Amino acid sequence: MRKGLLNLLCALAFLAVGAVVSYLIFNNTRVTRQLEEENVRLLSQYRVLSNRMDDAMEVLNDISQRDDNLYRVLLMAEPVSQQIRSAGFGGTNRYEQLMSFDNAELVVNVTQKMDMIAKQLYIQSKSFDEVVDFFKNHEDMLNHLPAIQPISNKDLKQMASGYGWRADPIYNTERFHSGMDFACDIGTPVYATADGRVTSADWEQGYGMTVEIDHGYEYQTRYAHLSAYKVRPGQRVKRGDLIALSGCTGKSTGPHVHYEVVYKGDKVNPANFYFMDLDADHYAQIVQMAENHGKILD
């Protein structure tokens, strides 16, 4: 009987050990599966984060280009050197502690992007501080920059066409449109976009009735297809002064104002000069409308 009891105890012990081992194996498998699933989720999140970092860097690069090639050009200030903008981080390997991670290459790549964006944001912030200071100290120059639209937003029906290559409405060919067309009713007030002196208020071939203003600092503006003049050559005007009424004169297929900005003899995109007239959202809408690739009105 003692032998039978011993055998029973051994069997129970074996079953208990087997149950424990089975539980550990099953539990370990479940934990492993959970960890693998979590790892997959983390990898996916890292990839999404990496893509967002790329998008953020693209936006920052666009801001940097606008800073160097627009704001600083307008203010006649030196651009931030590429050496400063693209400088890396010195010292020892900042990412050595990350090399032991699973998927270390992805983790290091995302971390590097985050560091670079933080550095670019700091540099851009300092640059904008300089631009703001420059604005504050150059009031006269700012008054002579063509920084508003020639048509009030309340009178604007639509931005018919912007600056760039467009389809000519008369000849049905592609040609470069050197300004912006503001569609509006005939007789809509047209305003000077900056302080300056009227150099011409006369008929011009193709443009019809036209007003031209010299703003100094190598800036000029042109307002074309008008119906009436409200200024005369030699007259001094301030930003926002009434200079003409819109019309449909010259080579025009509908009532509108054709507006040009000339800087150092070159016709440049007027959309880059509305920073005193529009908030960020409205500016984005105007730029989007200006990129309309339909037919121009002149």
18 phi and psi angles, rounded to 5 deg: -60, -40
What whole-number distance in Å separates Cα of residue 201 and Cα of residue 212? Answer: 7
Q: Helices 2-66 and 104-137, interaxial angle, to 10°?
A: 30
Q: Helix (H, G, I), strand (E, B), or coil: what is residue 294?
A: coil
Residue 245 structure tokens: 């009424």
The amino acid at 7: N
Domain boundaries, the chain: 2-137, 153-290
Distance of CA 100 to the CA centre of its chain: 39
Residue 112 structure tokens: 């590097």
For CA atoms 210, 162, 155, 74, the dihedral sign is: negative
117 phi and psi angles, rounded to 5 deg: -65, -45
What pTM did the predictor assign? Answer: 0.57
What is the per-residue pLDDT for 293?
47
User: Residue ranges of the alpha helices (H) in the chain?
Assistant: 2-66, 72-74, 82-85, 104-137, 139-143, 280-290
What whole-number distance in Å separates Cα of residue 107 and Cα of residue 99? Answer: 9
Splitting the chain (298 residues) into consecutive groups of 10 residues, what average pLDDT does each group show? 56 56 58 67 74 79 72 69 67 65 74 81 80 76 89 70 63 71 92 97 95 96 97 97 96 89 91 67 58 53
What is the per-residue pLDDT for 265?
93
Is 153-290 CATH 3.60.21.10? no
The amino acid at 223: Y
Give the chain's end-to-end CA distance (angstroms, integer): 115
